[in-house]
Chain A
Amino acid sequence: MKKLKFIYENGPHKWAVVARDPEKPGYLIDTNEYLVLNGSEALLADPGGMEIFSAVFSAISAEIDPYTIRYLFASHQDPDIISSLALWLNFNPDLKCYLSWLWGSFIPHFGGTAETFIAIPDEGMSISLGGLMLEAVPAHYLHSSGNFNLYDRKAKILFSGDVGAALLPPEENGLFVENFDRHIRHARDFHRRWMGSNAAKLNWCERVSRLDIDMLCPQHGAIYRGEDVKRFIDWFAALEVGSGIRE
């Protein structure tokens, strides 16, 4: 069963994660959905696939009023990211969805109308959530060709989408990375295969290493905290990507 857990709380400004589900069917990739709250407004980052809509919706509703969700943020176009869109819009047709301009005519195959989407330009943009400014940080080609992370300067949290993802075995179900060396073994093959561009990777590492980050939150696997954030960026910078084809 998916459960919502708060990972940052500062008055009305909060971050929560609907963390991986140990009971989900093995044929579905496990995902984390992140909720940014600021007072009476919330943004749901990578709301997930249609198969897990019920689990995500009920986990969120157990803690907060789902009507506070005003915005969805889709890091990219994959089904595990945003195929639940139509179901969210059935519940609340006024929801707005931020996503790369590149996918503006692709994502509507999952649902929504021209009014639903707010296109993010390649260079990124600021997103206001009840006065709190979030930043859509470009992460193109990591792995999608139109891809964004979401940075909260005040909370020092970077939602990094597929960057930092790890395909963990069921017994390693902790919310946070506790042993970097052991954890990163489960991230290596994913990054080598899903990330296609070394140039894009180095560009991302250079920009992100300049941000003040306490937590780096991927869509799959555990959250990196404190020193592990820098460890991850250094590890990623050194990794040869676009090289993971099985022989």
Chain B
Amino acid sequence: MEEIRGNSHAADLRRVVKANEDIKKVIRISSGVNLVALNAMLIAKRSGERSRGFAVVSSELRVFSHKLDGAMSGLGTLIFELVSDAAAMQKQRQEHGHLLAIVAQGKRMRELVAPALARVDERISGTVQEIGRDWQKLSLQLNRVLQLCETGGSLARSAKIEAVYGGDMSNILKQVASRIEETVNEIFSTLKLLRTQLAE
């Protein structure tokens, strides 16, 4: 219980807000993947038979981008719940602080507010457990997205290789493949950093 007293709650909300900002950033970046993947498919179609391999990979990238959309939406929902629970904890902590101030006035006061303090402690305990579950679910979802990004990275590298066989469209195909790779890498590194921060 000690860890949920004092200023640690405010720090918790700040930590949650920081994670929320990172996740929002990643969601913004990932929304571009779908467009780039669609562009890749259209270019592959235009270049016809010469970029058959690229067409196959770009089609897989479209599937990947849809999965990424779903995974990001899940991440958004989970972080929203976490922000909401961490903010609710602020109020409980405030009530707790008021009661502790009374407790500090001596034995009689401590006895007087003991039932109230127990009720607040119970509520805090429930919220702490809820926040713990939120973090756990978020962490699992982060791992899923990271795995997905690894797949996306592999697909982007395959697209780069296939682009070489694209004849006069080769340069455009390479540019598209590089764009996908950059986006996936950016998502990957941001989320990896976030996972490390969450583990601290």
List residues of chain A with CB under 8 Å of any chain B CB. Answer: 50-51, 53-55, 57-58, 61-62, 65-67, 86-87, 90-91
Contact = CB atoms under 8 A, between A and B. Distances in A.
Given A54-B85, A61-B20, 19 more contacts: A51-B91, A53-B87, A53-B88, A53-B91, A54-B87, A54-B91, A55-B84, A57-B83, A58-B80, A61-B80, A62-B20, A65-B21, A67-B17, A87-B90, A87-B91, A90-B9, A90-B13, A90-B90, A91-B13
Given A58-B83, A90-B10, A50 B91 contact: yes
A87 B17 contact: no
**What 7 A-B pairs are tightest by C-beta distance, nearest first?**
A58-B84, A54-B87, A54-B88, A57-B87, A58-B83, A87-B90, A90-B10
B46 interface: no
B14 interface: yes
Contacts of A57: 83-84, 87
Interface in B37-68: none
A50 B94 CA distance: 10
Contacts of B76: 62
A31 B80 CA distance: 21
Given A53-B91, A87-B90, A87-B94, A65 B84 contact: no
B17 A66 contact: yes
Report which residue of B10, B14, B84 has the largest number of chain A beta carbons within 10 angstroms of its beta carbon: B84
Contacts of A50: 91, 94
A91 B10 contact: yes
Contacts of B84: 54-55, 57-58
A226 B117 CA distance: 52
Interface of B: 9-10, 13-14, 17, 20-21, 24, 76, 80, 83-85, 87-88, 90-91, 93-94
Report which residue of A54, A55, A67 has the largest number of chain B beta carbons within 10 angstroms of its beta carbon: A54
Nearest to B21: A65
B91 A65 contact: no
A55 B90 CA distance: 12
23 contacts: A50-B94, A53-B88, A53-B90, A53-B91, A54-B85, A54-B87, A54-B88, A55-B84, A57-B84, A57-B87, A58-B80, A58-B83, A58-B84, A58-B87, A61-B80, A62-B24, A62-B76, A87-B87, A87-B91, A90-B93, A91-B10, A91-B14, A91-B90
Contacts of A65: 17, 21
Nearest to A50: B91
Contacts of B90: 53-54, 87, 90-91
Contacts of B85: 54
Nearest to A88: B90
A113 B17 CA distance: 24
A55 B80 CA distance: 10
A54 B88 CA distance: 5
A40 B144 CA distance: 33
Contacts of A87: 87, 90-91, 94
Contacts of A90: 9-10, 13, 90, 93-94
B189 to A, nearest CB: 20
Contacts of B17: 61, 65-67, 91
A66 B17 CA distance: 8
Contacts of A67: 17
A25 to B, nearest CB: 14
Nearest to A67: B17
Report which residue of B17, B76, B84, B87 has the largest number of chain A beta carbons within 10 angstroms of its beta carbon: B87
